[in-house]
Structure 1
Amino acid sequence: MSVDLFLHVFRGLQTVSEELLISDPRINERIRVAEVRLVGPAGEQVGVVSIDQALRLAREADLDLVEVAPGSNPPVCKIMDYGKFKYEAAQKVREARKNQVNTVLKTVRFGLKIDDHDYGTKVGQVRKFLKAGDKVKVMVVFRGREQSRPEMGVTLLKRLAEEVAEFGSVESHPSIDGRNMVMVIGPLKNKAEARAEAKRAAEKSATQAEEKN
């Protein structure tokens, strides 16, 4: 099988598995062509065979003949347990949707003359957002003549990026936006991973508390 044809077959299987087809693929006697390129149940390449032979091989294996690449010439069919295949594919789609969580863009503002205590508090907020899997838009607000000292804003943002590097990395380097300087930091872990990690930490903490009691 050529590389192009292999990719076509793979995309056909992927499309079926994600249930993105407008209608179900043709299976068994619904496949009305003279011959097909057949893929066996273990993924082995059987070659081009008549539709009757393909159906016979599927029946002998007590499986289904599924058209996975109808646009090929001849169409590509695979011998498989279609009911089980659809069930597992649906499970994967549901799991993917369950784990799909949108990343939120949080905003944290700094004054150029921020004191150490407030700075520490703001850094803590940034770390908290990144650890939760959210992006953070960091803004340095310039007041009056401070606009003539943009290098001070760059220094502050660079220091911040270094202090939160454990949880995030710079996605958008410092740039001037009106009276402000803006930098975007993205989380090292996506939201689903962050939630899973937090859940594991909570479970571990609960287990340790029970052992102490």
Structure 2
Amino acid sequence: MIMNEKIKALEVQLTGVDGEDLGVVSTTAALALAKKLKVDLVCTSMMSSPPPCRLIRAGAAKQAAQQERKREQAPKLKELRFTPQIEDHDYETKKQQAERMLIAGDAVLLVVRIQGKEGPQAKALLERLVGDLKTVGNRKTAVQISGKQAAVQIDPLL
């Protein structure tokens, strides 16, 4: 994203703060108008001639660029481990941790360590967790029981 004095084109296709078309204007006139209105002049693409530019309130362009970069990054996968005999208070604590991770934009892998014949109990625990986290995330994988653990992955809602 190219802003203000970094725009090197002689003329720009200018769009106003409220989205109104201001036509083709010289870059110096567009910069003067931006300073007068106390906004930023942002070039959206250098591929056309004249390049399209917008007047955006100060700081909004940087915020938009930061959110764009955040969306482009793949979500991190964070793991939470449980046992099938989890107490109610511990369950609530782990659930809140998972909610915070999902709200922050990270995927969560819920893993239950199992021994012996605890498979159905572990699956029930994971199904309960997935149901409780429906408001902040959706299930990516089904509950998978393999060897000594049961796992399910939950992705954040976008």
Partner of 1:108: 80
Amino acid at match of 1:82: S
Per-residue deviation, residues 26-71 of structure 1 (Å, max 9, x unmatched): xxxxxxxxxxxxxxxxxxxxxxxxxxxxxxxxxxxx9xxxxxxxxx
Between Structure 1 and Structure 2, the one with more helix by share is 1
Given the superposition, is the C-alpha separation of residues 97 and 119 from structure 1 closer, same or farther in structure 2, using an over 3 Å criterion? closer
Cα distance in 2 for partners of 1:116, 1:98 equals 35
Matched residue type, 2:138: S
State the distance in 2 between where 1:187 and 1:124 align.
14
2:81 alignment partner, SS class:
strand
Where structure 1 has 5 or more consecutive residues not aligned to the other structure, the ranges are 1-61, 63-79, 190-213
1:136 maps to amino acid: V
1:27-38 maps to which residues of 2 (within 5 A)? none
Tell me, yes or no, if structure 1 residue 122 matches structure 2 residue 94: yes
Question: Whose radius of gyration is greater, 1 or 2?
Answer: 1
Aligned to 1:170: 139
Normalised by the length of structure 1, the TM-score is 0.43
Displacement, 1:126? Answer: 0.6
Q: Distance in 2 between matches of 1:181 and 1:129?
A: 20
* Structure showing the higher strand proportion among its residues: 2
Gaps of at least 5 residues in structure 2 are: 1-23, 25-46, 55-60
TM-score (norm 2): 0.57
Equivalent position SS for 2:154: strand
Partner Cα separation in structure 1 for residue 148 and residue 95 of structure 2: 22
Shift in CA distance, 99/176, structure 1 to aligned 2, threshold 3 Å: closer
Equivalent residue runs for 1:141-156 within 5 Å: 141-143=113-115, 145=116, 148-156=117-125
Q: How many residues align?
A: 103
**Shift in CA distance, 161/98, structure 1 to aligned 2, threshold 3 Å:** closer
Among residues 177, 180, 199, which one is paired with 2:149 in the alignment? 180
Q: Do structure 1's residue 83 and structure 2's residue 50 form an aligned pair?
A: yes
Superposed structure 1 runs of 4+ greater than 2 Å apart: 94-102
- CA separation of 1:130/1:82 partners in 2, compared to 1, >3 Å: closer, same or farther? same
